[in-house]
Structure 1
Amino acid sequence: MSKRRKNILITGGNFTNQGAYLMLCAAAEQIRSRWGAQPVIAMQTGSERAKRWVGLDSLLEFPKLRIRVWGGNPERLSGLRHRMPFVVGSEIDAVFDVSGFVFSDEWAHLDLRRRADDLIRWSDRGVPVVLLPQAFGPLEQVTEPVADLLDSCELVYARDPDSARFLKGAARSRSAYEKIAVATDFTTALAPEEPRGLSHLRGMVPIVPNWNIAKRAAARGGSKDDYMRNLQEIVRVLRAHDYEVYGLCHEGGGDADLLHTLAGTCGGMPVIEGLDGRQSKWLLGQAPFIVSGRFHALVSALSQGVPGLVHGWSHKYKWLSEEYDVSGLVMDPYENPNSVDTFLSRRLEEIQRIRESVSELAIMKKAETEQMWDDIEKRIEL
């Protein structure tokens, strides 16, 4: 009798948000190379074509219909499985969660109780669950589901010290407390892919907006118009320093709308849409520096030695900038545009020195990521 293939389920990834896509690809690569296992995602996530492109199988379940196929003989559906590769619950050997930034008061409206219970259900059946590096907290409104999840997980990785502090504050026991570690974002080692027809953008500065910054403006003492004026002034100053700019959409319609509005108010600029995360990562690696409000666009640039001017709206941006020693490049997205010129002009004088420092740190971060995977591999033996 042949030995059954091992399968590891990836939860929290998707094909829409390019940060989530990068994490999905990074986890899938490690699952294949380290465990010789097949990466699997939820059947309702992405098209079959998209899954096959990344090399993913589907888990046969339909949570919205409360249909979960845990056991039975999957060979009964071998004809369907041949056309659309899938596995059932009893064939899952481990679960890696790549949610990125979900378990937080910021996203309490997303029913985090259900998300936590979905992961706890695997642990209750003896399947080890690992939360791969992501941001957490604050957790005042969602303490209970997070505490329950910590009790169930095998390993939990926070991307930054604040996230680890929030988690440890929610831990009910020493064992839950001790399974929490800090690790850098794990997409650092993921190789980029060159998109066709865009090599002419080498050396230009990409502007990567984030509609969340505009959406949360009022709660942070600013306005959507303040954010747009800030971006307009950045474009003006960069052009005054002889940099060419273009817009790079890292996630869907909201970001694209901001970029087209910006282009219309700045005398026009190229706007690049429709790339996946690995293709965007290649473009970001060709820039002298970037301007970004998207976390994984910043990771993609910094991990290739490219500095980023940071527009952040949560603690994860603060800590990422500290990791790569670019705290001096963090900008308030709602700041008075009159101060942008002075701020940027000073930073641009130092950009080459900053690039050298970021390049050195990028090598270290990749090594840290490899060490994290080594530790997980020792703990999760399939």
Structure 2
Amino acid sequence: MYVEVRKAGFVNKGAELMLHAVIQQLEQRLPDAKVVMEPGRAQSPYPYRNRASLGLYQKAWLWRAGIPFGDLAAFVPAGIREQYGVVLDKEVNVVLDAAGFAYTDQWGPELSVELARSSRRWRKNGTKAVLLPQAFGPYHDQRSKDAVKAFVDSCDLIYPREQVSYDYLTEITGPRNNIKLAPDFTNLVNGTRPDYFDAERHQVCLVPNYRMLDKTGGDVAQGYVPFLERAARMLVERDAKPFLLIHEGTADVGLAERLSKAIDGLPVLQENDPLAVKGILGACRGTLGSRFHGLVSALSQGVPSLATGWSHKYEMLFADYGFPEGVLNINLSDEELSSALDYLTEPTKMAALSSSLRSHSNELKARSKDMWDDVFSLIEH
């Protein structure tokens, strides 16, 4: 059986963590499955070296001007394709889409239109298709709305990971049996704490996100870096040992280096292994982050967390963990910010919050397991 994993890349550590989460489940529940990933375009987030390191098969896929040139690989005998780990699109039995947050007008209608086109092809080929827990919407463009109708009709299971995303879909399609709520599924993945991590020196983790600059309005974009500087200075004054952790690529690195320079050389950690990134976040005393999966990694391990965000997915995530007040407005006063930071530095507040987060995490992990039960029931029947 060939199982294709879509939209989980290697640049964003959240996307890579989703890939590991899928592979772990397949290894546990369907060990004979061969996991496939398409190569993507030049400069794609799916480089061959990374795909090969995980033992992934390569889908013969090259789509130009509406023509699937990858289908030309069908002229190569099947035995030779298997020898080189190359799989035809029509040979894929199951597609697991782990986009995270792609099908929304915040990125434009094109990705939703592509999903609609692909899902029709899967249906025609008899390929089962699952959109794993992710955020959807909003949809304002008519092309997006038409695409939503098409991919909801063609996919077997679709999992919005919170109520707002569910509503964005069902406002267009109406309630459907194949649309089911389920939380982010990386909560089941265990992190690995790297040997070099010094928990005494690195206690409160700051995870910046350049999307707070290019996906927000003027006041938020202009105020984001000053907000992080204010928070970092307050944490330094409390001797909370703040440090910066990179969760994506060069843009986040530049943002972290800018903050480090402004706060007298605040330590910056950059880790390539997403499991180690989760391990670091689990070993922290607290975190203030703007990367969604960095926050999932912390919250799911009971680590006191605060956030800033650029879409509804942040508010809904913290609501799932019973701590909606943890999503901060960057324009809050110094007094309000100082009070919020107590959740990351004041032992009594930290302990109470951690206990509550762990309780909610247990419930969400149970729901993730139920989601995977449904997915594998679909795959195996």
1:26: how far off?
A: 0.9
1:336: how far off?
A: 4.5
1:81: how far off?
A: 4.8
Equivalence for 1:205 = 204
| Native 8 Å contact 1:16 1:252 kept in 2 | yes
Alignment deviations for residues 260-305 of structure 1 (CA, whole Å, 9 cap, x no partner):
1111111111111242321110100001111100000001111111
Equivalence for 1:188 = 187
Superposed, 1:131-280 pairs within 5 Å as 131-141=131-141, 142-171=144-173, 177-200=176-199, 204-217=203-216, 219=217, 222-280=219-277
Matched letter for residue 172 of structure 2 = A
| Native 8 Å contact 1:226 1:336 kept in 2 | no
Determine helix, strand or coil for the equivalent of 2:99.
coil
Alignment deviations for residues 318-337 of structure 1 (CA, whole Å, 9 cap, x no partner):
11101111212211134455
1:38 lines up with 2:34 in the alignment? yes
Determine helix, strand or coil for the equivalent of 1:106.
coil
User: For 2:150 and 2:110, how far apart are their aligned partners in 1?
Assistant: 17
Question: Structure 1 residues 111 and 358 mapped into 2: Cα distance closer, same or farther (>3 Å)?
Answer: closer
| Native 8 Å contact 1:25 1:54 kept in 2 | no
| Native 8 Å contact 1:229 1:337 kept in 2 | no
Determine helix, strand or coil for the equivalent of 1:55.
coil
Question: Structure 1 residues 29 and 347 mapped into 2: Cα distance closer, same or farther (>3 Å)?
Answer: closer
Determine helix, strand or coil for the equivalent of 2:108.
helix
Give the unaligned 5+ runs of structure 1.
1-5
For structure 1, which segment, 51-60 or 344-353, has the greater mean C-alpha deviation from structure 2 after superposition? 344-353
Equivalence for 2:372 = 373
User: For 1:149 and 1:284, how far apart are their aligned partners in 2?
Assistant: 35
For structure 1, which segment, 321-330 or 336-345, has the greater mean C-alpha deviation from structure 2 after superposition? 336-345
Alignment deviations for residues 200-240 of structure 1 (CA, whole Å, 9 cap, x no partner):
567511100111112234x2x51434111110111111122
1:20 lines up with 2:15 in the alignment? yes
Matched letter for residue 132 of structure 1 = L
User: For 1:343 and 1:205, how far apart are their aligned partners in 2?
Assistant: 14
Question: Structure 1 residues 223 and 323 mapped into 2: Cα distance closer, same or farther (>3 Å)?
Answer: closer
Matched letter for residue 325 of structure 2 = G
Alignment deviations for residues 97-126 of structure 1 (CA, whole Å, 9 cap, x no partner):
111111111011644312331232112211
User: For 2:113 and 2:227, how far apart are their aligned partners in 1?
Assistant: 38
Matched letter for residue 254 of structure 1 = A
Question: Structure 1 residues 346 and 33 mapped into 2: Cα distance closer, same or farther (>3 Å)?
Answer: closer
Question: Structure 1 residues 70 and 119 mapped into 2: Cα distance closer, same or farther (>3 Å)?
Answer: farther
Alignment deviations for residues 25-51 of structure 1 (CA, whole Å, 9 cap, x no partner):
111222232223111110235233311
Alignment deviations for residues 129-183 of structure 1 (CA, whole Å, 9 cap, x no partner):
11000000111211111111001010100000010011111116x6xx2211100
Matched letter for residue 374 of structure 2 = D
How many residue pairs end up in the alignment?
Answer: 370
Aligned equivalent of 1:345, options 336, 342, 345: 342
Equivalence for 2:304 = 307
Give the unaligned 5+ runs of structure 2.
none
Aligned equivalent of 2:3, options 5, 8, 21: 8
User: For 1:375 and 1:202, how far apart are their aligned partners in 2?
Assistant: 43
Determine helix, strand or coil for the equivalent of 1:9.
strand
Determine helix, strand or coil for the equivalent of 1:321.
helix
| Native 8 Å contact 2:4 2:96 kept in 1 | yes
Determine helix, strand or coil for the equivalent of 2:310.
coil
C-alpha root-mean-square deviation of aligned residues, in Å? 2.2
Determine helix, strand or coil for the equivalent of 1:16.
coil
When normalised by structure 2's length, the TM-score is 0.90
Determine helix, strand or coil for the equivalent of 2:188.
coil
1:307: how far off?
A: 2.1
User: For 1:365 and 1:54, how far apart are their aligned partners in 2?
Assistant: 28
User: For 1:144 and 1:201, how far apart are their aligned partners in 2?
Assistant: 53
Equivalence for 1:3 = none
When normalised by structure 1's length, the TM-score is 0.90
Determine helix, strand or coil for the equivalent of 2:365.
helix
Determine helix, strand or coil for the equivalent of 1:364.
helix
Equivalence for 2:363 = 364
For structure 1, which segment, 356-365 or 183-192, has the greater mean C-alpha deviation from structure 2 after superposition? 356-365
User: For 2:274 and 2:64, how far apart are their aligned partners in 1?
Assistant: 28
Matched letter for residue 11 of structure 1 = R
1:338: how far off?
A: 5.6
Determine helix, strand or coil for the equivalent of 1:309.
strand
| Native 8 Å contact 2:271 2:277 kept in 1 | no
1:291 lines up with 2:293 in the alignment? no
